[in-house]
Amino acid sequence: MKQHAQIVVLAINCLQGGGAERVVLTLGQGFYELGYEVHILRFKSLVQYDLNPNLNYHVLKFKPYKLIPGSERRDKIFARAVDKYILSKIGQPDMILSNLDRADSIFSNSKLSNIIYVIHNTVSLLYKFNKISDADILQSKLKNIYAKHPCVCVSEGAKKDFVESFGNITPTTAIYNPIDRDDIQKQANAFIPKYHNYIMHIGSFKNAKRHDVLVRAYAQTDRSMPLLLLGQGKLKSEIKQLVTELKLEDKVVFLGFLENPFPYIKHAQFKVLTSDWEGFALVIAEALALGTPVISTNCPSGPSELLPKSNLMPMGDIDAIAEKMRQAMKNPQQFHAPFNKALLPVNIAKKYLKFAQNFS
């Protein structure tokens, strides 16, 4: 009699072009290579990535439930529908990984077992606990959600921040994001960019990424290499205006969102990151997989766990960032760093399974 494969469900709101969404697909491949039946469940149909044919995809739309008054009541009712869908369409999962706040809120109301939250961000900075007036109410609400199931944080820094923010409310560990080096290297050979000798930055145009700091620091260099900005987001027009004010239109290139950014990363002289916070800094690990030098701000989690100290810069310090960029423009290879094979998808999937064993 044929034995059924064990089932892993990875839940996320949608598969638009973000880091957590890419992590879900990559981690799914890791579980597939270990012989698991992998299901990706999302609550919006939006997709901006090529879907891995080894994984199974499901959409259970949350939008119709938005008509239900009260967010807590709405999530409880939708959670019942999610449980019913999983059991009838997928089967009894051996592990469910909930990714990002929409899924986390829903699965805090789930009656299913073997649920683990994946914490992709530095929560205190993401939710601005130090800056908003009703921080206590928000912290209490999030604490109620995250106390329900074990948590995996995507870096040691993110774990430290999580415990400092909420206390020891649930079993918590740090497991880095997976990097499919072979697939990244294959995608990096898809084409050769038309630009040459350039600096690369990848990230959504939002406050955390500090494009303003990057552009102002770049303006202080000799601008001998063009700066390519890959991404989309609400602050894009603001950064375009800053580029115009600093008369950098012929030096700063806005590429928009690209499904395959890897040829640009591979052929860059170096990659730069100027964030005020990251969860893991996926783009750093991906650059290392392609042998591309990286310099980054030493933000609370991620970069210092992936890069040597000499590659790091103080956050928000335009002069220091400009100086590091000048050094990298002169000799990019001094900022080369090795790729850690522990980040390969199978190795990361094994760490999730080991952590989950404690609760099965």
Instruction: Give the model confidence (pLDDT) of 179-232 as tens digits.
Output: 999 999 999 999 999 999 999 999 999 999 999 999 999 999 999 999 999 999
| Mean pLDDT across 121-139 | 87
Residue 76 lies in a domain: yes
Say if residue 153 is in the same domain as residue 208: no
| Mean pLDDT across 270-289 | 95
The sign one gets for the Cα dihedral 211, 215, 216, 220 is positive
Q: Determine the pLDDT at residue 270.
A: 98
Residue 1 lies in a domain: no
Residue 91 lies in a domain: yes
Q: pTM (2 decimals)?
A: 0.91
Say if residue 171 is in the same domain as residue 216: no
| pLDDT over threshold 60, residue 156 | yes
Residue 302 lies in a domain: yes
Say if residue 191 is in the same domain as residue 327: yes
Say if residue 118 is in the same domain as residue 215: no
| pLDDT over threshold 50, residue 237 | yes
Q: Determine the pLDDT at residue 132.
A: 78
Overall domain count for the chain: 2
Using 50, 70 and 90 to split pLDDT, how confident is the model at 2? very low
Say if residue 199 is in the same domain as residue 330: yes
Q: Determine the pLDDT at residue 1.
A: 39
CA distances from 5 to 87, 90, 116, 153, 322 (A): 15, 12, 20, 27, 53
pLDDT digits (tens, 9 = 90+) for 76-113: 999 999 999 999 999 999 999 999 999 999 999 999 99
Residue 128 lies in a domain: yes
Residue 75 lies in a domain: yes
Say if residue 72 is in the same domain as residue 151: yes
Say if residue 57 is in the same domain as residue 126: yes
Q: Give the C-alpha separation, 138 to 55, whole Å.
A: 35
Q: Determine the pLDDT at residue 135.
A: 84
Residue 172 lies in a domain: yes
Residue 2 lies in a domain: no
Q: Determine the pLDDT at residue 172.
A: 98
| Cα dihedral 97/101/104/105 (nearest 10) | -160
SS3 331: coil
Conformational region of residue 273, where left means phi above 0, alpha means psi within -120 to 50, and beta covers everything else: beta
Say if residue 157 is in the same domain as residue 223: no
Say if residue 311 is in the same domain as residue 351: no
Say if residue 235 is in the same domain as residue 122: no
Say if residue 253 is in the same domain as residue 296: yes
SS3 49: coil
The CATH number of whichever domain residue 167 belongs to comes to: 3.40.50.2000
| pLDDT over threshold 90, residue 47 | yes
Detail the DSSP E strand segments found in the chain. 7-12, 37-42, 56-59, 95-99, 115-119, 151-153, 172-174, 199-202, 227-230, 252-256, 270-273, 294-297, 312-313
Which domain, by its residues, includes 147?
A: 7-178+344-357
Using 50, 70 and 90 to split pLDDT, how confident is the model at 37? very high
Say if residue 215 is in the same domain as residue 109: no
Longest dimension (CA), the chain: 71
pLDDT digits (tens, 9 = 90+) for 306-349: 999 999 999 999 999 999 999 999 999 999 999 999 999 999 99
Q: How many CB atoms lie within 10 A of CB 289?
A: 23
